[in-house]
Chain A
Amino acid sequence: MNPISSNRVIRILPLLFVVPAWLSVSPAVARGEGVVEIIRADHDAALLALRKTIPEDIPLLRGYRATTPPDSWPHALPTQQPAPQLVEAMKLVASRLAIDGLLQVTAGVIHAIGPDAFLKDDAAAIEILKQVGLPVDLLEAFTVGDASGSKLVRHIASRLAAGAAPGDLTSDLSLAKFAFRPSSLGFQLSSEAGQSNIDLVRMQVPNADYWKGQGDGSALDVVRGMSSALPEARLVVSIASEAADALRAEAAKWQRGRGAGITILPGPWRPAQWAQDNGKPGTATTAAGKREAATLMPRYASRGEERSVCDSAETFGIEALAKIGHRLIRSPLLFQGGNLIPVYDPATRQRVLLIGEAEVYRNSALGLSRPQVEEAFRVECGVDQVVVLPAVSFHIDVELSAREVGGKIVVLVNDELGAASLIVRRSLDAIRSLGRIDAATVEAAMKDLAAGNAGAVAQRLAGPVGQLRDADGAYTENIVAAFCAGEVDSGAASIARFLLAMDILTGLQLKADELPSDPFARAYVRSLQRRAEDRARLHAALAELGWRVAPVASLSDENRGINYVNGFHVPGRYLMPAYGGFFASVDQAAAEQIRAALGAEVEVVPVLCGETQRRLGAIHCAASIYPAE
Chain B
Amino acid sequence: MILTQCILVSILLQTPPQTPRVVRSADEAKLIKDVVDGLKNQPAGLSRLDSLNLPDEFLARVADRIVRMDYQKQMRSVRLASPAAVIPPAATPAKVPAKDEGGSFNWVTAILAVVVLAIFIFPRLKRSPAQ
B116 vs chain A, min Cβ distance (A) = 14
Question: Among the listed A98, A394, A510, A518, which residue makes an inter-chain contact with B127, where contact means beta carbons less than 8 Å apart?
Answer: A394
**Chain B residues within 8 Å of A313, by CB:** 129
Give the docked Cα–Cα distance between A235 and B39 (Å). Answer: 40
Nearest neighbor of A507 in chain B, beta-carbon distance: B12
**Chain B residues within 8 Å of A209, by CB:** 89, 91-92
B75 vs chain A, min Cβ distance (A) = 8
Query: When the two chains form their complex, are residues A212 and B80 in contact, meaning their CB atoms are under 8 A apart?
Result: no
Give the docked Cα–Cα distance between A401 and B10 (Å). Answer: 37
Query: When the two chains form their complex, are residues A516 and B53 in contact, meaning their CB atoms are under 8 A apart?
Result: no
Give the docked Cα–Cα distance between A512 and B60 (Å). Answer: 19
A305-B62, A520-B107, A521-B15 known; A98+B53 contact, CB < 8 A = yes
Give the docked Cα–Cα distance between A495 and B86 (Å). Answer: 13
Query: When the two chains form their complex, are residues B54 and A518 in contact, meaning their CB atoms are under 8 A apart?
Result: no
Question: Among the listed B8, B72, B86, B126, which residue makes an inter-chain contact with A459, where contact means beta carbons less than 8 Å apart?
Answer: B8
**Chain B residues within 8 Å of A212, by CB:** 88-89
A59-B45, A90-B46 known; A365+B52 contact, CB < 8 A = yes
A299 vs chain B, min Cβ distance (A) = 14
CB-CB contacts below 8 Å: B78-119 with A: 78-82, 85-86, 88-89, 91-92, 95-97, 100, 103, 107, 110-111
A384 vs chain B, min Cβ distance (A) = 26
Question: Among the listed A60, A391, A455, A523, which residue makes an inter-chain contact with B67, where contact means beta carbons less than 8 Å apart?
Answer: A523
CB-CB contacts below 8 Å: A25-69 with B: 58-62
B108 vs chain A, min Cβ distance (A) = 9
Query: When the two chains form their complex, are residues B30 and A510 in contact, meaning their CB atoms are under 8 A apart?
Result: no
Give the docked Cα–Cα distance between A496 and B39 (Å). Answer: 27
Query: When the two chains form their complex, are residues B72 and A357 in contact, meaning their CB atoms are under 8 A apart?
Result: no
**Chain B residues within 8 Å of A527, by CB:** 64-65, 67-68
Query: When the two chains form their complex, are residues B51 and A304 in contact, meaning their CB atoms are under 8 A apart?
Result: no
A610 vs chain B, min Cβ distance (A) = 11
Query: When the two chains form their complex, are residues B92 and A475 in contact, meaning their CB atoms are under 8 A apart?
Result: no
Per-residue contact bits, chain A 461-490, to B (CB 8 Å; 1 contact, 0 not): 010011001101111110010001000001
Query: When the two chains form their complex, are residues A531 and B64 in contact, meaning their CB atoms are under 8 A apart?
Result: yes
Query: When the two chains form their complex, are residues B79 and A557 in contact, meaning their CB atoms are under 8 A apart?
Result: no
A544: Cβ under 8 A from any B Cβ: no
Query: When the two chains form their complex, are residues B92 and A211 in contact, meaning their CB atoms are under 8 A apart?
Result: yes
Query: When the two chains form their complex, are residues B54 and A361 in contact, meaning their CB atoms are under 8 A apart?
Result: yes
Query: When the two chains form their complex, are residues A211 and B81 in contact, meaning their CB atoms are under 8 A apart?
Result: no
Inter-chain residue pair count (beta carbon < 8 A) = 266
**Chain A residues within 8 Å of B14, by CB:** 466
Give the docked Cα–Cα distance between A109 and B76 (Å). Answer: 50
CB-CB contacts below 8 Å: A507-556 with B: 507, 509-510, 514-528, 530-531, 534
B87 vs chain A, min Cβ distance (A) = 10
B59 vs chain A, min Cβ distance (A) = 7
Question: Among the listed B11, B12, B43, which residue makes an inter-chain contact with A524, where contact means beta carbons less than 8 Å apart?
Answer: B12
A400: Cβ under 8 A from any B Cβ: no
Nearest neighbor of A311 in chain B, beta-carbon distance: B129
**Chain B residues within 8 Å of A295, by CB:** none
**Chain B residues within 8 Å of A91, by CB:** 46-47
A521-B13, A557-B68 known; A496+B28 contact, CB < 8 A = no
Query: When the two chains form their complex, are residues A206 and B130 in contact, meaning their CB atoms are under 8 A apart?
Result: yes
Query: When the two chains form their complex, are residues B131 and A206 in contact, meaning their CB atoms are under 8 A apart?
Result: yes
Nearest neighbor of B98 in chain A, beta-carbon distance: A492
A458-B11, A521-B12 known; A617+B23 contact, CB < 8 A = no
Query: When the two chains form their complex, are residues A518 and B23 in contact, meaning their CB atoms are under 8 A apart?
Result: yes
Nearest neighbor of A99 in chain B, beta-carbon distance: B53
| List of 6 A-B pairs having minimum Cβ-Cβ separation, nearest first | A527-B64, A94-B47, A519-B27, A94-B46, A206-B130, A524-B71
12 additional contacts, CB 8 Å, given A272-B130, A530-B60?
Answer: A272-B129, A305-B62, A307-B49, A361-B54, A462-B10, A509-B8, A520-B31, A520-B71, A520-B74, A527-B65, A616-B126, A616-B127
A residues neighboring B (CB under 8 Å): 58-62, 90-91, 93-99, 133, 206-207, 209, 211-212, 218-219, 270-274, 277, 303-307, 309, 311, 313, 357-358, 361, 364-365, 390-392, 394, 455, 458-459, 462, 465-466, 469-470, 472-477, 480, 484, 490-493, 495-496, 499-500, 502-503, 506-507, 509-510, 514-528, 530-531, 534, 557-560, 611, 614-617, 621
16 contacts between A and B (CB under 8 A): A58-B44, A58-B45, A90-B46, A97-B51, A99-B51, A212-B89, A309-B124, A392-B61, A458-B7, A459-B4, A477-B82, A480-B85, A518-B19, A521-B75, A524-B67, A524-B71
